[in-house]
Amino acid sequence: MTTEAFERVYLDGTGFDRITEAEVVAVVRDALACGRGGRIITPNVDILRMTRANPGLRAFLDDADLVVADGMPLVWASRLTGMPLPERVAGSSLVWSLSEGLGRDDRSIFVIGGAPGADDLPDGATRAADRLAAACPGLRVGGTLCPEFGFEHDETRYAQFCAKVVDAQPDVVLVGLGFPKQEQVISRLRTDLPQTWFVGCGAAVNFVAGDVRRAPRWMQRTGLEWVHRLGSEPRRLARRYLSQGAPYALRLLAVSARR
């Protein structure tokens, strides 16, 4: 199974693969077996809005081997175009299903991101990796990194950071640093790890580590996960969801309906 096997639906200029979460896992496993690496991006409404406001960011989407919709508004918009996406593929769910599939093949992951450690508590990347390994028999942890804020502005630290990932030679790297920083990091690492798969997974590392609680499944299925996130972090997310995200989502749905 290859990435070319899936048709794409275009929403505001971005092509989304009409693919299920299980098919994403199958594509990655097959590609690794053949020695091919790749890149998965899981855009939500906010990422689509950002790429529209800053066209320079679209290069990250164009560089991806798989682009999957992490948001029910995107699934709804695809239905209005007449080319429905089969389901939402959330990065927070994909990290679990992908890790389970990798465990079956005795593959390794490298986890980047999460909250810093405190006292005797390991950092978020370490705790997330440990939880994935405990839940997915056969999965190997190639390493973890929880970089300090602004590390990418210090070339020496940035180079040391990249060298640790490259030296581990992982099969899959989960990068949870937020868009677009995580995509910039992935772009830099891909050259030295052509047989590795990369997933920009945003807050998924925090979810897996247990530092942030995900919404109940019924909220995830009905497109209300953002309400849960807003209630958990109102000061940080109010502007993103209410002032920016909601108007953009409504415009996207209206444009899709006209198409």
> What are the sequence ranges of the domains in the chain?
3-213
pTM: 0.91
Give the CATH H-level superfamily of domain 3-213. AF0625-like (3.40.50.10700)
Q: Write down the H helix ranges in 152-215.
A: 155-168, 181-190, 204-209
Cα gap 221→224, rounded to integer Å: 8
Residue 144 confidence (pLDDT) above 70: yes
| pLDDT surpassing 90 at residue 226 | no
CA angle 177, 91, 127 (to 5 degrees): 60
Helix (H) or strand (E) holding 39: strand 38-41
Compare 1 and 236 and report the one with higher pLDDT.
Answer: 236
The H-or-E segment that residue 176 falls in is strand 172-176
> What are the angstrom distances between the C-alpha of 183 and each of 107, 130, 173?
23, 24, 12
For the segment 202-218, the average pLDDT, to the nearest whole number, is 84
Helices 124-135 + 91-104 axis angle, to 10: 50
- Mean pLDDT on 211-230: 71
